[in-house]
Structure 1
Amino acid sequence: MSSHASDKPRIVRLDQPAQPGVVDHPRPDRLEQGNPRRETWSLYESSDGQMTAGIWACEVGRWRIVFPAGKDEYFFVLEGHVRLHDREGGLVDVQAGQGGVIPGGFEGAFEVISPVRKHFVVVERPQKS
């Protein structure tokens, strides 16, 4: 059996693509402030579909988020400022040059204080019944 270069794992750089990303808005039932335009460039997906990485940009606004138990997100803010609010009233600011993790099971609100662009890595593990 011969091995081809395309069969081997390769490094993927997360460069800003020249083409537009996928545009959406928060679900209306989750909006708390504004109706921000969000744009996502998914630049990598693992062969098992459990990990996705890319670039995300968003306008100012705030909406509720609910992460399932098996979904974690690491992100690094390239530009702008985000604030994550937990259900108990605590908050964490993450600004350009800083990263953060949203753990599985997190419930709260995601707020964009100033227009943001970030790298993201989302890992979704199957949950056992």
Structure 2
Amino acid sequence: MAETLNSSAPHIHGATTYDDLVDWGVQSDAIEGVSKSSGRLLFKGPDNQPETGIWVCTPGRWRLSIPREELCHFVAGRAIYRSDDGEVIEVEPGTVVMFPGGWTGECTVIETMRNVYMLV
């Protein structure tokens, strides 16, 4: 059994390789390349809080603005996040990042990345 989304505690087994993903389209605000996103929503609460799931994104570079606090546990791939104030965050498998709401900058995906996220 790979997923049980309607459980009292929704869960996905094998989140690092789970492949029943939904096409979420092209990443908006592209700067370079055409990054495509896919994923699987695990849970979305009232007023969309919290929202948690798996997100996969192919190589490319784009602007981003994170609307609410977002915890990301990167389990595959490599990417570089650059904040508007110049901070550089390099991610690879095993990296966990807590982005504060309102964080702005850009993301460059070097190798298709996968992360398990929670947006609150």
TM-score, normalised to structure 1, is 0.77
Give the structure with the larger strand fraction.
Answer: 2
The one of 68, 74, 82 equivalent to 2:79 is 82
1:97 paired to 2:98: no
% identical equivalent positions:
23
1:67 paired to 2:66: yes
Structure 1: 4+ residue segments shifted above 4 A: none
Match of 1:55 in 2: 54
8 A Cα contact 1:66 1:106, kept in partner: yes
TM-score, normalised to structure 2, is 0.82
8 A Cα contact 1:23 1:38, kept in partner: yes
Distance 1:18 1:92, change over 3 A: closer
8 A Cα contact 1:72 1:104, kept in partner: yes
CA distance in 2 between partners of 1:44 and 1:88 (Å):
33
1:1-129 → structure 2 map (5 Å cutoff)? 10-15=8-13, 16=15, 19-27=20-28, 30-68=29-67, 71-123=68-120
SS of 2:11's equivalent? Answer: coil
Q: Which has the larger radius of gyration?
A: 1
Match of 1:5 in 2: none
By how many angstroms is 1:48 displaced? 4.3
Structure 1: gaps of 5 or more residues? 1-8, 124-129
The amino acid across from 2:24 in the alignment is V
